[in-house]
């Protein structure tokens, strides 16, 4: 509990490091002032939230000076700004991160303590802005952190969803969704900018006209208009003065009352309009794949893209810039295809609104945009029915047709007579119902196209975007993902961070390649002992949290085997379950079976409409119920489904892992970033040759990684030759026994129907080839067990994993984007 703090003076009035412009006494005074003047409370009457808010404002005050100086820089004509356009930013809590980046963590912790406050309790009070689904949104947040840390002038642009990703409850083993209410108690980190607004149009028709010079022009006569209002959040870099801007747009009605409608008596029509407008930014679609045909989703995309591009054009014009040189001032990155309509919107702004001719406008557009692809699943490539698209954006539809006409001329020129290729590459899919292909629009309208891991980029070139690669190979490049070591090591794992810093100094935080210097301590038994002690502490912390959230007791000395990520068949959480059941069967057959004690921990949300994913959650919980209570098992195996996995509780999960499960079907996971977070915290990986696993294994060394399973090539050729899951089933008695356990109703109180959709899908389709990989997975798990039994060996492997993970810092990734795609340089910010 928070102790009520008393107003009392302290003699301490020392200057805080070199990083802060505030003394401890100053911090304390500001904090008290915010309790009183901002929250309107006397100290004794302040609630936990009041205290959190006051502390957040105190810290935000520390950012503002840097922020204003940085924004002034953004207003310089001679610099180039990165605009990161993303429908999702999964930021996680701000307070602790900002304290670390400011270098004020210790001072504020001590100040709080002196005021009688437990800072952890205040951290807990922060609601995380869950404005993303998973990997893609979290990557955007890591990239904002690195852009600021590397002193790159940058803006993030996105949507201020009123309701972010749902909160997950597990009830009776099933996922239950609750609406997220992150704004309920106020958001101290954002500053509303009601004077920065843009109009965004929808529907209607277009009309040709002649301009003053007699040129053919088109104007758009929309059916309805919505207003976008800017909300800004400061994003501070680590121990630098750069404090960039995340600008999120909220939709509002243009007039809160349609007076005309009101006057003619259509009160409800006027109210409907208002509600309709505000709906656009109401809620994040909780899907980690595109949603087919949902009009509101398409409206969201255009809404934020149009506001953002209008904002950039306004800023550029304010600087007196000539729009033909727009791309020398802005580099815009499309985070997947969600903002790809920006290609058509920038053309519209340049040609229709600013009178540019088509060719120079097209050159500006292509030089401005870069496109990052995040998926290989063909069903995940976004496309919109032409009717829906044209109905909402009649002018953009015309622009896309014109881009397509010119583009297909080029294709025909390059590949004469190859009409199949023309049909494949067209921006419009005409094979059945007509669709706008957003990935094609993004490829054609960008000067750079990248995948997010080496394997992913290769497969993009060979398969998904092969035609585009053949025609314009120079556009394609790889940018392997990275994650920020600030949030995912320094903030999440203070014990490990202290141990590392004690050995090699603290420069590794911004230069993680220096972690290599840990290698020379790998043979030092005392260091290894310390390493294990830190891990054990982290496991105890997680065990406490698990007890609190699930009531399950787990043994911190058992191996923590963890798989946290979105629930998806291709990620194969159910392969992990098959392994658990196999171990369980061995114990049932011989209770004296010498199993290595393990705690299997799962976490992750399923899209609310994804039937199989929800069934897998139920299966995990059902297996947990049986295994955790079986006296033959006697606590040696425990299974936990940790509810509501998010950035906030990820902080306790990654640092506590011994084993990281990265077991997707090869060729399906574009990169993965959880794999990096685990390994940076000293977990060893059991994984397939998929996504960035390939590169992680290369870096840490094959001998420090548990590899198994089919390669992407094996998967393709098996599929081509007619994959028969039954063959694997018939030839593996252990697998049969595992499946039999499930289908017999053993985990479902005799109900043989509950899991039959899962079992049938495995036996008769097995799209993700679990049965083909089962044997190899069991073997690899056996090796894991052997290695874990030798704790000295395991610790060596763990240390080497951490020492060799430097490559996977998002700083490295961002440096590559800056050099190869954006062509931007750091611009250090000075405070005077």
Binding site for ligand 8GP (CB under 6 A): 133-136, 139, 288, 336, 374-375, 452, 481, 669-673, 691
Q: Are 569 and 609 in contact (CB under 8 A)?
A: no
Of 26 and 339, the one with the shorter C-beta distance to ligand 8GP is 339
Catalytic residue among 618, 677, 741, 804: 677
DSSP letter assigned to residue 256:
S
**CA distances to 588, 616, 622, 759 from 743, in Å:** 17, 14, 13, 7
Residue with tokens 């399923």, as numbered in its chain = 606
Q: Where are the beta strands (DSSP E) in 395-498?
A: 428-429, 435-437, 448-451, 476-478
Distance of CA 309 to the CA centre of its chain: 23
- Phi first, then psi: give them for residue 218, nearest 5 degrees: -130, 135
For the CB of residue 667, give the shortest distance to ligand 8GP in the complex, in Å.
12
Q: Is 622 helix (H, G, I), strand (E, B) or coil?
A: helix
Confirm whether 673 is a catalytic residue: yes
| Shortest reach from residue 694's CB to ligand 8GP, in Å | 13
Q: Which of 28, 338, 383, 565 is catalytic?
A: 565
- What is the sign of the dihedral through the CA atoms of 43, 48, 49 and 54? positive
Helix pair 770-789, 756-764: axis angle to 10 deg: 100
Q: Between residues 61 and 289, which has the closer beta carbon with respect to ligand 8GP?
A: 289
Residue 462 C-beta: closest distance to ligand 8GP, Å: 18
- The DSSP bridge partners found for residue 634 are none
**Token output for 122:** 């205040």
* Secondary structure (3-state) at 237: coil
In the residue annotation, 830 being an active-site residue is answered as: no
Residue 474 contacts residue 375 (beta carbons within 8 Å): no
Concerning whether 437 is annotated as a catalytic residue, the answer is no
Q: What does the angle CA 382 – CA 386 – CA 390 come to, to the nearest 5 degrees?
A: 115
CB of 372 to ligand 8GP, least distance (A): 7
Please work out, in degrees rounded to the nearest 5, the angle formed at the alpha carbon of residue 354 by the alpha carbons of 350 and 360: 45
Which pair of tokens denotes residue 699? Answer: 């870096």
Nearer to ligand 8GP, 242 or 671 (CB): 671
- Interacting residues of 505 by C-beta distance below 8 A, sequence separation 6+: none
Looking up tokens 């611009």, which residue turns up?
827
- Tell me if 641 sits within 8 A of 680, measured CB to CB: no
| Of 403 and 452, CB closest to ligand 8GP | 452
Q: Distance (Å, rounded) from C-alpha 111 to C-alpha 439? A: 51
Nearest approach, Cβ of residue 90 and ligand 8GP (Å): 9
Return left, alpha or beta for 604; rule: phi > 0 is left, psi -120 to 50 is alpha, else beta: left
Minimal distance, residue 87 CB to ligand 8GP, in Å: 7
Q: Which is nearer to ligand 8GP, 345 or 669 (CB)?
A: 669
Nearer to ligand 8GP, 147 or 787 (CB): 147
Nearer to ligand 8GP, 288 or 661 (CB): 288
Catalytic residue among 539, 568, 571, 598: 571
Q: Evaluate the CA torsion angle 112, 114, 115, 120 in order and state its sign.
A: positive
Residue whose Cβ sits closest to ligand 8GP = 135
In whole angstroms, the minimum distance from the beta carbon of 662 to ligand 8GP comes to: 10
Instruction: State the minimum distance, in angstroms, from the CB of residue 146 to ligand 8GP.
Output: 14
Q: What is the 3-state secondary structure (H, E, C) of 540-583?
A: HHHHHHHHHHHCCCCCCCCEEEEEECCCCHHHCHHHHHHHHHHH
Considering only CA atoms, which of 807, 480, 460 is closest in space to residue 667?
Answer: 460
Taking the complex as a whole, the smallest distance from the CB of residue 457 to ligand 8GP amounts, in Å, to 12
Least distance in Å: CB of 288 to ligand 8GP? 4
Of 386, 404, 348, 400, residue with least CA distance to 219: 348
Q: Which of these, 423, 218, 222, lies nearest to 303 by C-alpha position? A: 222
Pairwise CA distance, residues 342 & 691, whole Å: 28
- Using CA atoms, how far apart are residues 62 and 39, in angstroms rounded to an integer? 18
How many CB atoms are located within 10 Å of the residue 608 CB? 15
DSSP β-ladder status, 191-202 and 383-385 = unpaired
Nearer to ligand 8GP, 483 or 639 (CB): 483
Catalytic residue among 250, 374, 479, 668: 374
Q: Which residues contact 125 (CB under 8 A, 6 or more apart)?
A: 48, 49, 51, 52
Which is closer to ligand 8GP, CB of 813 or CB of 818?
813
Alpha helices, DSSP H, located in 380-524 = 386-392, 394-414, 419-425, 438-444, 454-459, 466-471, 485, 494-504
Where in 343-486 does DSSP place strands (E)? 369-372, 383-385, 428-429, 435-437, 448-451, 476-478
Q: Report the DSSP pairing between strands 659-662 and 684-687.
A: parallel
Residue among 612 and 737 whose Cβ is closer to ligand 8GP: 612
Q: Which is nearer to ligand 8GP, 138 or 598 (CB)?
A: 138
Q: Are 168 and 605 in contact (CB under 8 A)?
A: yes
Q: Give the nearest distance from C-beta 80 to ligand 8GP in angstroms.
A: 24
Q: Which is nearer to ligand 8GP, 227 or 566 (CB)?
A: 566
Q: Catalytic residue, from 242, 673, 685, 688: name it.
A: 673
* Owner of token pair 């309920």: 184
461 is catalytic: no
Catalytic: 374? yes
Give the tokens for residue 121: 């309790």
Q: Which is nearer to ligand 8GP, 532 or 614 (CB)?
A: 614
- Closest approach of ligand 8GP to the CB of residue 625, in Å: 30
In angstroms, what CA-CA distances link 596 with 564, 581, 621, 624, 754? 21, 14, 21, 17, 30
Look up 566 and say whether it is catalytic: yes
- Rounded to a whole number of angstroms, the minimum distance from the CB of residue 233 to ligand 8GP is 20
- State the catalytic residue, choosing from 566, 651, 697, 741: 566
What is the set of active-site residues?
Answer: 374, 565-566, 571, 673, 677
């Amino acid at each position: 509990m928070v102790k009520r703090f008393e107003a009392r003076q302290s003699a301490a009035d020392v200057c805080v490091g070199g990083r802060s412009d505030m003394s401890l006494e100053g911090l304390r005074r500001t904090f008290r002032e915010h309790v009183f003047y901002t929250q309107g409370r006397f100290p004794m009457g302040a609630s936990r939230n009041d205290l959190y808010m006051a502390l957040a404002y105190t810290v935000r005050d520390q950012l503002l000076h840097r922020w204003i100086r940085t924004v002034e820089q953004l207003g310089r004509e001679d610099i180039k700004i990165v605009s990161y356009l993303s429908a999702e930013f999964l930021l996680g809590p701000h307070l602790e991160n900002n304290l670390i980046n400011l270098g004020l963590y210790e001072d504020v912790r001590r100040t709080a303590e002196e005021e009688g406050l437990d800072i952890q309790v205040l951290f807990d009070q922060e609601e995380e802005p869950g404005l993303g689904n998973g990997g893609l949104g979290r990557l955007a947040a890591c990239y904002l952190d690195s852009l600021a840390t590397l002193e790159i002038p940058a803006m993030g642009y996105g949507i201020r969803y009123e309701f972010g990703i749902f909160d997950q409850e597990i009830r009776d083993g099933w996922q239950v969704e609750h609406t997220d209410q992150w704004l309920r108690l106020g958001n101290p980190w954002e500053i509303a900018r009601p004077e920065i607004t843009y109009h965004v149009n929808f529907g209607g028709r277009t009309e040709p006209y002649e301009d003053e010079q007699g040129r053919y022009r088109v104007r758009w006569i929309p059916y309805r208009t919505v207003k976008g209002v800017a909300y800004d959040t400061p994003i501070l870099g680590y121990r630098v003065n750069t404090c960039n801007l995340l600008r999120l747009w909220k939709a509002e009605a243009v007039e809160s009352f349609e007076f005309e409608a009101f006057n003619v008596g259509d009160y409800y029509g006027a109210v409907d309009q208002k509600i309709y407008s505000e709906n656009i930014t109401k809620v994040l679609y909780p899907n980690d794949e595109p949603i087919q045909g949902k009009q509101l989703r398409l409206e969201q995309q255009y809404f934020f893209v149009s506001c953002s591009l209008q904002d950039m054009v306004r800023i550029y014009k304010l600087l007196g810039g000539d729009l033909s040189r727009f791309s020398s001032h802005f580099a815009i990155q499309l985070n997947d295809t969600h903002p790809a309509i920006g290609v058509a919107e920038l053309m519209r702004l340049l040609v229709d609104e600013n009178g540019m001719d088509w060719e120079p406008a097209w050159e500006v557009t292509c030089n401005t945009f870069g496109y990052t692809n995040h998926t290989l699943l063909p069903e995940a490539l976004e496309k919109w029915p032409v009717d829906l698209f044209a109905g909402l954006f009649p002018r953009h539809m015309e622009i896309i047709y014109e881009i397509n006409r010119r583009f297909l001329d080029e294709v025909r020129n390059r590949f004469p007579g190859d009409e199949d290729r023309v049909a494949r590459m067209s921006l419009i899919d005409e094979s059945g119902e007509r669709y706008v292909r957003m990935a094609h629009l993004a490829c054609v309208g960008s000067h750079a196209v990248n995948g997010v891991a080496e394997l992913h980029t290769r497969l993009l070139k060979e398969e998904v975007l092969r035609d585009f690669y053949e025609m314009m190979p120079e556009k394609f490049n790889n940018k392997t993902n990275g994650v920020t070591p600030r949030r995912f090591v320094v903030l999440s794992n203070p014990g490990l961070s202290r141990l590392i810093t004690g050995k090699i100094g603290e420069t590794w935080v911004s230069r993680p390649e220096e972690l290599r210097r840990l290698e020379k301590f790998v043979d030092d038994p005392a260091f290894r002992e310390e390493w294990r002690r830190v891990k054990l502490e982290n496991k105890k912390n997680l065990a406490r949290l698990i007890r609190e959230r699930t009531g399950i007791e787990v043994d911190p000395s058992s191996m923590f085997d963890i798989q946290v990520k979105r629930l998806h068949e291709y990620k194969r959480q159910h392969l992990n379950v098959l392994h658990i059941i196999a171990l369980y069967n061995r114990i049932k057959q011989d209770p004296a079976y010498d199993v290595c004690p393990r705690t299997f921990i799962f976490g992750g949300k399923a899209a609310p409409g994804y039937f199989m994913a929800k069934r897998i959650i139920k299966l995990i919980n059902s297996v947990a119920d049986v295994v955790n209570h079986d006296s033959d098992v006697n606590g040696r195996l425990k299974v936990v489904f940790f509810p509501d996995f998010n950035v906030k509780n990820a902080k306790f999960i990654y640092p506590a892992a011994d084993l990281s499960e990265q077991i997707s079907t090869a060729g399906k996971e574009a990169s993965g970033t959880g794999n990096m977070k685990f390994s940076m915290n000293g977990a060893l990986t059991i994984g397939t040759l998929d996504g960035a696993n390939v590169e992680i294994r290369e870096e840490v060394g094959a001998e420090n990684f548990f590899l198994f399973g089919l390669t992407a090539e094996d998967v393709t050729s098996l599929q081509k030759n007619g994959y028969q899951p039954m063959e694997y089933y018939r030839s593996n008695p252990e697998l049969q026994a595992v499946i039999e356990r499930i289908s017999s109703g053993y985990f479902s109180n005799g109900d043989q129907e509950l899991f039959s959709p899962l079992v049938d899908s495995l036996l008769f389709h097995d799209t993700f080839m679990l049965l083909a990989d089962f044997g190899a997975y069991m073997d690899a798990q056996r090796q894991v067990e052997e290695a874990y039994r030798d704790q000295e060996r395991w610790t060596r492997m763990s240390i080497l994993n951490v020492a060799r993970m430097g490559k996977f810092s998002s700083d490295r990734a961002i440096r590559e984007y800056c050099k190869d795609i954006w062509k931007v340089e750091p611009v250090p910010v000075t405070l005077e």
